[in-house]
């Protein structure tokens, strides 16, 4: 199979049926134990808001040279329905077969959602939903992009963890393999506070070295 070959994975969700036609979702009546096929070219990540009707969002790259899509499901996985599919991050900002990590700092709704990925020039990048609309790209002054963290090409490590404890500030820890000097692990390399996202008031970056 060539490097540009398309792979597919299947999402198993009871009582869900989704047909894909001409790049759009066609919602059909629920069918028990339906398998939902989704074409993708690399990694995928998902988040869920338990207190927001248990809605789910899945993020994946549509094709080798494509952007990152958001597939939205309403309701819990056992009875939910796919209701939207949109290109969230343009292809020009995404590395082919990029790593993807997603995290949410508030389970009440999807405000405070963060998507992490790798840019075409191997820079750790981020899109943020501070409330109602996503922000990201070259003009985002609060995204992690501005720190110009270089990601080691060809590695397979990217993760994001959120501290949602009731007595602690919302904190996100992002881990990735750095393209910097090899040897050792730097923890707590940076703190910064996105001005537009009070719920993710502080972010701590783990810079992983091979």
Bigger pLDDT: 27 vs 72: 72
Q: Is residue 130 part of a domain?
A: yes
Q: Is residue 41 part of a domain?
A: yes
Distances, alpha carbon 31 to alpha carbons 25, 134, 162, in Å: 16, 32, 34
- The pTM of this model reads 0.71
Q: Is residue 119 part of a domain?
A: yes
Q: Is residue 12 part of a domain?
A: yes
Residue 27 has pLDDT above 80, yes or no: no
Q: Is residue 1 part of a domain?
A: no
Q: What is the pLDDT of the chain when averaged over all its residues?
A: 69
d(CA 34, CA 179): 42
Confidence band of 125 (pLDDT split at 50, 70, 90) = very high
Which residues span the domain enclosing 159? 7-208
Q: Which two tokens stand for residue 37?
A: 């096929």
- pLDDT at residue 168, rounded to an integer: 65
d(CA 117, CA 207): 15
Max CA separation in the chain (angstroms): 54
Distances, alpha carbon 158 to alpha carbons 25, 33, 86, 96, 202, in Å: 29, 31, 23, 15, 19
Q: Is residue 2 part of a domain?
A: no
CB atoms within 10 A of CB 201: 15
Starting at the earlier edge strand, list the strands of the sheet with 81-89. 44-49, 55-61, 68-74, 81-89
Domain count of the fold of the chain: 1
Confidence band of 198 (pLDDT split at 50, 70, 90) = very low
Confidence band of 112 (pLDDT split at 50, 70, 90) = confident
């Amino acid at each position: 199979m060539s490097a540009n070959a398309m792979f597919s994975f299947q999402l198993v969700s009871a009582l869900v049926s989704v047909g894909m036609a001409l790049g759009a979702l066609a919602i059909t009546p629920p069918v028990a134990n339906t398998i939902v096929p989704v074409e993708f070219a690399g990694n995928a990540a998902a988040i869920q808001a338990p207190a927001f009707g248990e809605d789910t969002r899945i993020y994946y790259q549509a094709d080798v040279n494509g952007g990152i899509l958001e597939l939205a499901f309403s309701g819990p996985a056992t009875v939910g329905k796919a209701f939207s599919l949109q290109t969230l991050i343009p292809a020009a900002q995404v590395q082919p077969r990029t790593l993807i990590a997603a995290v949410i700092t508030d389970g009440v709704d999807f405000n405070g959602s963060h998507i992490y990925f790798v840019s075409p020039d191997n820079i750790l990048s981020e899109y943020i939903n501070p409330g109602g609309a996503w922000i990201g790209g070259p003009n985002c002054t609060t995204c992690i992009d501005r720190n110009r963290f270089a990601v080691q090409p060809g590695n397979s490590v990217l993760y994001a963890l959120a501290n949602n404890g009731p007595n602690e500030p919302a904190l996100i820890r992002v881990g990735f393999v750095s393209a910097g000097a090899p040897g050792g692990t730097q923890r707590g390399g940076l703190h910064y506070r996105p001005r537009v996202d009070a719920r993710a008031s502080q972010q701590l970056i783990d810079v992983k070295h091979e």
